[in-house]
């Protein structure tokens, strides 16, 4: 099977870690590089976590490029993560490695690599969109040369930073706006409307503990703080898994139902970071700039995640 080339731009982050781990275990994916951005921690934290996650999976050979430490407006977004101070639920220290980041800046890398491989690269934006927006500003060809952009961000019906704003779009709303308006051929917006539904319950986490491998234990550990945070703030005993759904969708597109939509992001005021999702471009002369994910097959997601990462058939062991 010919593998598809992808790049993950992220702010690891427990759920970013899961996305990287899933990508590295899929026979459909050739992960070319990881880029870091501020988000689930300061840039030093997300960059170091990215290097260590690649090492944990035995892929020190995959380059990690350090990206933007602040949003387009040069302000550092709020980085208090649901995954704790180290972004990995207090377990970042358990995967320390000697892998070091590349010298090139993430934005320079993105521009160079995508423009050298026109129409070949699927880019995942699973943190604030700053690096991607800067690449679009830097190079006229960049947006047109992407094969596809899969974003974890936004939502139509809910928020996690305000009643209407999701974190990645909120943290750099100008960047999210510019990325959505850039004319990229295929943009898939996978937001809270579906990612909230795959939050991991305690039974599912328990399977990770029972599997008792280094990787399953790591995933068990890094999903603990998210679970506790959800319990404290919402009385829900589930752990956030947002970003991993982007990679699961790429591996198995039938996991999500999508509708064409015209999507834009509010950049100022009380609704800053809100994504306005106009299904079928009803209010925009029928023009659409993205695909909006409105439904997810949760069972199928967990079947795929456990099978791909741990080789276990969840339908048999549950």
Residues engaged in binding Ca ion (CB under 5 A): 11, 13, 16, 126-127, 243
Residue 183 CB, shortest distance to Ca ion, in Å, is 24
Q: What is the CA radius of gyration of the chain?
A: 18
Burial classification of residue 200, based on how many CB atoms lie within 10 Å of its CB (0-12 exposed, 13-18 middle, 19 or more buried): buried
Residue 88 CB, shortest distance to ligand BDR, in Å, is 11
Q: Is 152 in the site for ligand BDR (CB under 6 A)?
A: yes
Q: Is 168 in the site for ligand BDR (CB under 6 A)?
A: yes
Residue 282 CB, shortest distance to Ca ion, in Å, is 30
Q: What share of the chain is helix, strand, coil (3-state, %, to 5)?
A: 40, 20, 40
Spatial separation of the C-alpha atoms in residues 39 and 79, rounded to whole Å: 5
Closer to ligand BDR at the Cβ: 187 or 288? 187
Residue 15 CB, shortest distance to ligand BDR, in Å, is 5
Q: Is 179 in the site for ligand BDR (CB under 6 A)?
A: no
Residue 118 CB, shortest distance to Ca ion, in Å, is 27
Give CA separation, 72 vs 36, 88, 134, 160, 184, in Å: 15, 26, 8, 21, 20
Closer to ligand BDR at the Cβ: 88 or 146? 88
Query: Are 222 and 88 a contacting pair, CB within 8 Å?
Result: yes
Q: Is 13 in the site for ligand BDR (CB under 6 A)?
A: yes
Q: Which of 130, 160, 239, 289 touches ligand BDR by CB under 6 A?
A: 160
**Beta strands 290-296; 256-265: pairing state:** antiparallel
Reduced to 3 states (helix: H, G, I; strand: E, B; else coil), residue 260 is strand
Site for ligand BDR, residues 34 to 63, rule: CB under 6 A = 39-40
Spatial separation of the C-alpha atoms in residues 85 and 176, rounded to whole Å: 25
Chain residues that interact with ligand BDR, rule: CB under 6 A: 13, 15-16, 39-40, 81, 126-127, 152, 160, 166-168, 242-243
């Amino acid at each position: 099977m010919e593998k598809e080339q992808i790049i993950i731009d992220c702010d690891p982050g427990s759920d970013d870690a899961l996305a990287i781990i899933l990508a590295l275990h899929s026979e459909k994916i050739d992960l070319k590089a990881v880029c870091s951005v501020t988000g689930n921690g300061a840039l030093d934290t997300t960059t170091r976590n990215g290097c260590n996650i690649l090492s944990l999976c035995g892929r020190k050979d995959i380059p990690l490029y350090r990206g933007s430490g602040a949003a387009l407006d040069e302000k550092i977004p709020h980085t208090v993560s649901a995954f704790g101070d180290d972004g990995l639920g207090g377990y970042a220290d358990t995967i320390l490695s000697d892998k070091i980041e590349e010298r090139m800046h993430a934005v320079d890398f993105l521009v160079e690599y995508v423009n050298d491989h026109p129409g070949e690269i699927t880019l995942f934006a699973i943190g604030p969109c700053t690096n991607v927006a800067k690449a679009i500003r830097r190079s006229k060809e960049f947006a047109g040369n992407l094969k596809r952009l899969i974003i974890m961000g936004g939502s139509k019906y809910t928020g996690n930073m305000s009643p209407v704003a999701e974190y990645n779009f909120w943290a750099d709303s100008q960047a999210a706006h510019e990325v959505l308006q850039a004319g990229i051929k295929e943009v898939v917006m996978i937001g809270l409307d579906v990612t909230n539904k795959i939050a991991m319950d305690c039974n599912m986490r328990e399977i990770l503990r029972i599997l008792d491998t280094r990787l399953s234990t790591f995933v068990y550990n890094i999903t603990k703080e998210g679970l506790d945070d959800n319990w404290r703030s919402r009385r829900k005993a589930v752990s956030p898994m947002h970003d991993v759904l982007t990679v699961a969708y790429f591996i198995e597109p039938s996991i999500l139902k999508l509708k064409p939509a015209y999507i834009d992001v509010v950049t100022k005021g009380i609704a800053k970071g809100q994504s306005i999702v106009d299904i079928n471009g009803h209010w925009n002369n029928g023009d659409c700039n993205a695909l909006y994910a409105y439904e997810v097959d949760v069972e199928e997601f967990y079947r795929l995640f456990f099978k791909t990462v741990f080789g276990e058939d969840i339908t048999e062991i549950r």
